[in-house]
């Protein structure tokens, strides 16, 4: 990309990189580092034609977190219910909802002036305070 003087890097961070979640301190710290690296590279590579952004997903059910979110009968676990209760959209994310942000950031036409940004896709989870 640098040799071609154009391109788009899209890093995958996490909303827990902005708001540390309990019980996953190392994960939250690593994702905060991804956000910081994204901003650093965006600044360094902007004049070379490469845009660098990040997407920070909220809670999207997947194999690694399914047991944390759902009981075997499909109902929410206690933790899953807490997350839904803290999410203004009152649901978990769907894979296609990450795809939209990714396509937009990758588009040279639609996002050509977007670099150094962290796009949070979390149903409003990170906007809620006590």
Catalytic residue numbers read 27
Cα(116)–Cα(40) distance, rounded to whole angstroms?
Answer: 8
Where does the chain show beta strands of DSSP type E?
A: 7-12, 50-57, 118-121
Bridge partner list, 54: 11, 118
User: What is the Cα Rg of the chain in Å?
Assistant: 16
Contact 69, 92 (CB under 8 A): yes
Cα(110)–Cα(53) distance, rounded to whole angstroms?
Answer: 14
Contact 125, 15 (CB under 8 A): yes
């Amino acid at each position: 990309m640098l040799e071609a003087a154009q391109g788009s890097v899209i890093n995958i961070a996490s909303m827990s990189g902005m708001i540390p979640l309990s019980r996953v301190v190392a994960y939250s710290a690593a994702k905060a580092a991804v956000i910081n690296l994204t901003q650093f590279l965006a600044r360094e590579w902007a004049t070379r034609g490469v845009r660098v952004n990040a997407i920070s997903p909220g809670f999207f059910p997947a194999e690694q977190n399914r047991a944390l979110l759902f009981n075997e009968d499909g109902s929410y676990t206690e933790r899953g219910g807490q997350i839904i209760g803290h999410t203004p959209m009152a649901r978990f994310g769907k894979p296609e909802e990450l795809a939209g942000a990714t396509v937009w950031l990758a588009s040279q036409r639609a996002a050509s002036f977007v670099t150094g940004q962290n796009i949070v896709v979390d149903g409003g989870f990170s906007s809620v305070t006590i």
